[in-house]
Chain A
Amino acid sequence: MSAVLFFIAAIGAIAGAIGVVTLRNPFYSVLALVVHLICLAVLFLLLRAEFVAAAQVVVYAGAVMVLYVFVVAYVGGGEQMLGGAVLRVLGPLFALALAIELCIAMLGSALKGVSGKGAPYVSGFGTPAHIGTLFLTKYLFPFEVASILLLVAAVGAVVLARRRRGLEEPDEQFELRIRAPRPAYTGTMAEAAGTRIAETVPEPERVGDVSTHEGGW
């Protein structure tokens, strides 16, 4: 029974993968990936990894793919041309070579570490309780680091995608901030790189000082 389910899920996953790669419309690729993810979740269930399967469906297929859908809708994409002449042929070839190597490695008798059925089943294997315990004891540090990574990614995404002032067309500029005038050549890098024109400060009138002004340092 599990064998049949395995084959169905495996074929579904591979079909989804092929769909991602070959479909022209990026929207369809996203949908193919969702199919692939669901099949992968079934495979995880077959491997008794309940929590991972649930997370896969909820987080991956549920959140990440939805994000993808939104972005694809925004950006669009239209017809996708496949890559440059050389890599269009060579790419799949490299991948094929890699696949063959890996399969030989796996299925050949060379690898001794891959043994038959697996370890005997311990009750509670793969449950959230066990995973949670591991996260909070043995893998506490990776857990914390992962949360910081999520924070960083969130901040990064906001920073990347916000509207940047001064780089849009003038009609979109929001003239709120104070542009403090700086004397010429008192240098920001922006000025040196030419993206900002320096404004010269008019010299305050000095009463009684008739010496010629010598600019610069």
Chain B
Amino acid sequence: MAIGWYLSVSAIIFCIGSAGVLTHRNPLVILLCLELMLNAANLALVAFSRMWGGEDGQVFALIVMVVAACEVTVGLGLIVAIYRRRMPIDVDELNELQG
């Protein structure tokens, strides 16, 4: 298949993910949608790596996966801490970090 197909799939998944981030209020689901977007990027990277013939894209994708894992870890830790403080798990309520 031409690379373009893979890239469009990646684009579609990316935009679905961003739509999810913009609409949900539960931080857990937002993190899930963030994972979607990261995966879409991974797909694009691997597709280009196939196109160019070097494995650099795949290495990049692996690093992205590492970063995603770390981010999920810390994010979920935050959510657990919020839950423990008995604060609402709702990004619209958690808005104290403002100007």
Q: Does chain A touch chain B in the assembled complex, meaning CB atoms less than 8 Å apart? A: yes
What class of interface size applies to chain B in its complex with A? Answer: 35 or more
Say if the beta carbon of A59 comes within 8 Å of chain B. yes
- Check A94/B22 contact, CB under 8 A, given A63-B69, A114-B4: yes
Choose the segment among A100-108, A175-183, A192-200, A207-215 that binds chain B (4+ C-beta atoms closer than 8 Å).
A100-108
Interface of A, secondary structure class, is helix
Complex CA–CA separation, A96 to B12 (angstroms): 9
Asked if A95 contacts B22 (CB within 8 A), the reply is yes
Asked if B69 contacts A116 (CB within 8 A), the reply is no
Asked if B49 contacts A49 (CB within 8 A), the reply is yes
Say if the beta carbon of A201 comes within 8 Å of chain B. no
Number of A-B contacts (CB under 8 A): 243
Asked if A119 contacts B51 (CB within 8 A), the reply is yes
Asked if B43 contacts A26 (CB within 8 A), the reply is no
Taken residue by residue from 1 to 39, chain B's Cβ proximity to chain A (1 for < 8 Å, 0 otherwise) reads as 111111111011111111111111110110111011001
Number of interface residues of A (CB under 8 A): 87
Q: Which residue of A lies closest to B76 (CB)?
A: A71
Complex CA–CA separation, A106 to B9 (angstroms): 11
Complex CA–CA separation, A12 to B92 (angstroms): 32
Say if the beta carbon of A87 comes within 8 Å of chain B. yes
Taken residue by residue from 2 to 24, chain A's Cβ proximity to chain B (1 for < 8 Å, 0 otherwise) reads as 11001000100110011011000
Residues in A whose Cβ lies below 8 Å from that of B50: 47-49, 118-119
- Besides the known contacts A95-B16, A149-B70, 19 further A-B residue pairs in the complex with CB atoms under 8 A apart: A17-B16, A20-B20, A21-B19, A21-B24, A33-B35, A36-B39, A49-B61, A52-B58, A55-B62, A64-B69, A95-B18, A103-B11, A114-B4, A114-B51, A115-B51, A156-B73, A157-B74, A157-B77, A160-B77
